[in-house]
Each structure stands twice: as C-alpha cells, then as structure tokens.
Amino acid sequence: MRKTVIAGNWKMNKTISEALDLVKELKNRIADIDDVTAVVCPTFLCVKSVADELKGTNIHVGAQNLHWETSGAYTGEVSAEMLLAAGAEYVIIGHSERRQYFGETNETVNKKVKKALAAGLKPIVCVGEMLEDREAGNTQKVVDDHVTNGLAGLSADDMKKVIIAYEPVWAIGTGKTATPEQAQEVHAFIRKRLAEIWDEDTAESVVIQYGGSMKPENVKELLAQKDIDGGLIGGAALKADSFEALVKYNK
C-alpha cells in the first residue's frame, strides 16, 4: 500500500520568523499524524530553522530546488549536501515555475534527480502540461516526455524512492482544478508508463501526487481516486488550518 504524502510547497513566501510561526502551529495540529506523510518545503533560508523546530515530530522538511553539482562556481545555487546538512529530507525538482521562469529542462531535471538520489534526498519530481497542450490534446505526449526523459537512466530501486507530482499547469493558482476524473486519467497514464519503462511492481510502489490546486474542499474526492496518492500543495500550505485539513482529510 502506498502511503499518502501531502507536501506543502511554500514557494517564495515566509520570512524565517513567519516560517517558524507556521510550523509551531503545525506541530500542535498535525505532528502526531502517522497515516499520512506531511512535508513542508520552505525557502532555502528557512530550511534549517524549520527543520530544527520540527525535529522529533512526524512533519518532514523539504527544499524547493537544488543544483546537480556538490560544489563549485555556481552563484546563487544550493547543493544536495547543503540541504541535507540543514535538515532537509525531500526536494522538489522540475516544478512548472522552474521550467517556465528559470529554464529548467528534462535534462536538468534528470541531473538533479540523480544527484538528489545519490546524496540521499527524496525527490518530488514535477510533470505536467500547459493549457495550450491540454486544449491541443497533447496532455499525454507532454507528460510522457517529462516522465521518460526526466527520469531516464534511473533503476527500479531508484524509482521506488521517487515521488512524482502531476501538475496540470493550467490549474495552478488559477482557481481551476482538474476534475477528479481528469486527474485520475493522467495519474493512471503515468503509472502505466512507469510499468512499461520499469515494471509493474515499481509502478505500483511509486507515490503520484496531484499538484493542481488541491484544497480542503476537493481533497477527499481527489484522494478517493485509485492512482492519486497525495498532493503537492501551494497556497493552501501557507495557512495552518488549511494544511491541517489536507493532512487530516480522512479524519
């Protein structure tokens, strides 16, 4: 059985003091939950403070990006080793905003995934189509490209440590949400491709999150779908009450 993973992508929000205020509140609300894996992904500046505050709880910490090299002349970048030293366990890779604004490609995603795994971080790898892709009927083509090339060269054992987040980019921050049936269709397609590239057991073991405006109002319907194993949460992760409601969706 795949364990539900609810991960909050805070994006470029929260100062260190604001981040600590939020996780202190989350500690009181969800730190004892054990049937759902809860992850918070603050900015780089906040990772260590948040990880220190959450030490000893069931709330895990991730980062929003990393570089594929261990060190070097890469101004403004952060390595896997630095994230681990700061207390991160997870890292988001290839988010649509990274692709859209900062030139991420399948090639850079692939290098980052391999580096994260080699260092011992758990990658949350984002895949998904733009509105024009969906309207042109190219959803599966785009998602297949992201899965096949972003995860190229990984072993079956590697894949069992990877989380995939399906992001219909047209549903991020727009107020639009894929219907549970639309989301399930793409999640099922991803799992089918994992079985074809690796094997059935590997495909069944991989957690596939939904990353398109999951919120307390739609979480139950989405997570009732056979192949949706959690959420990569944006805005709803920035407030304790809404993130708590997501983590406790089945209570």
- State the CATH number of the domain containing residue 174: 3.20.20.70
Q: Give the residue numbers spanning the domain of 70.
A: 4-247
Q: Is 120 left (phi over 0), alpha (psi -120 to 50) or beta?
A: left
Q: How confident is the model at residue 46 (pLDDT cuts 50, 70, 90)?
A: very high
Residue by residue, DSSP assigns 153-208 as T--HHHHTT-EEEE--GGGSSSS----HHHHHHHHHHHHHHHHHHS-HHHHHH-EE
Q: Which pTM was predicted? A: 0.97
Query: Of 53, 97, 104, 167, which one is the catalytic site residue?
Result: 167
Q: How many separate domains does the chain show?
A: 1
Q: What is the pLDDT of residue 1?
A: 82
Tokens describing residue 242: 């809404």
Q: How confident is the model at residue 175 (pLDDT cuts 50, 70, 90)?
A: low
Q: Compute the half-sphere exposure of residue 237: CA atoms within 13 Å on the CB side of its CA.
A: 24
Tokens describing residue 204: 């069944």
Closest CA to 59 of 103, 89, 94, 97: 89
Q: What is the pLDDT of residue 213?
A: 83
Residue 177, pLDDT > 80, answer: no
177/232: higher pLDDT:
232
* Over residues 75-89, mean pLDDT: 98
217/170: higher pLDDT:
217
- CA 49 to chain CA mean position, Å: 21
Q: What is the pLDDT of residue 249?
A: 96
Residue 93, pLDDT > 80, answer: yes
- CA 93 to chain CA mean position, Å: 8
Q: How confident is the model at residue 4 (pLDDT cuts 50, 70, 90)?
A: very high
95 noted as active-site residue: yes
Tokens describing residue 26: 């989350």
Q: Note the pLDDT tens digit of each residue in 202-244.
A: 999 999 999 988 999 999 999 999 999 999 999 999 999 999 9
Query: Of 95, 97, 129, 187, which one is the catalytic site residue?
Result: 95
Distance of alpha carbon 49 from alpha carbon 213, whole angstroms: 27
